[in-house]
Structure formats: structure tokens, C-alpha cells
Amino acid sequence: MSHTILLVQPGARPETRTYCDYESVNECMEGVCKIYEEHLKRRNPNTPTITYDISQLFDFIDTLIDISCLVYQKSTNTYAPYNKDWIKEKIYVLLRQAAFSPNA
């Protein structure tokens, strides 16, 4: 478990910048999915159940002006930066594991 900071800038204006912190990379990736789900709920307030596939999630990530992660590296006591492509790869792995989990 590595402390992870998610940096997001959804709009062109710097005032739209925000961040969240998580106890692990997986929690952070779940947080990115939740951000997308909240976005869908805002856009479809009268839809009781919202579904999406991974390509729609990745398209949403690509529309963000900026999204990146800072992941704590215990060995150097620093945070390493990671970009959109890394985030998408980690989400893919997380969702794939969830899909093939016996409890899914």
C-alpha cells in the first residue's frame, strides 16, 4: 500500500484543479471510477441505473485537461508522478481483476 495523490483538472481554468488522496493505488483507481460515475449521475439525473464500459471511462479520462497521480515511494521517501496512460492501465488491471474475481 502506497499513499497516492490524485490530481485532476477537468476544465481549462486553473480554478477547476482539485486533488484527492488515497491509502493505495487501487483505492485511487476506484476513486477515478467514482468521479466518472458522479459525472454520469449529474448528466443523467433521472436515470435510476447507470452503466458504462471501460472505453467510455477511458474517453472521459481523455477529455480531462489533466489527470495524474503521485505515488509514495518508500525506498526514496518521495512521490513519483504518473500520467493518464498509467492511470488507464492501472484501472484496466483493477477492473479485469474484479471481473474475474469469484465474488464478482
77 occurs within a structural domain: yes
26 part of a folded domain: yes
- Sheet strand arrangement including 66-73: 18-22, 4-9, 66-73, 78-82
Q: Which domain holds residue 91?
A: 4-99
Domain assignment of residue 59, yes or no: yes
Q: Would you say residue 21 lies in a domain?
A: yes
Q: Is 86 exposed, middle or buried (0-12, 13-18, 19+ CB in 10 A)?
A: middle
Total domain count, the chain: 1
Question: 1-10: per-residue pLDDT in tens?
Answer: 799 999 999 9
- Does residue 104 sit within a domain? no
pTM of this prediction? 0.89
Cα(20)–Cα(18) distance, integer angstroms: 7
Residue 84 lies in a domain: yes
Q: What is the CATH number of the domain that holds 86?
A: 3.30.2260.10
pLDDT digits (tens, 9 = 90+) for 55-65: 999 999 999 99
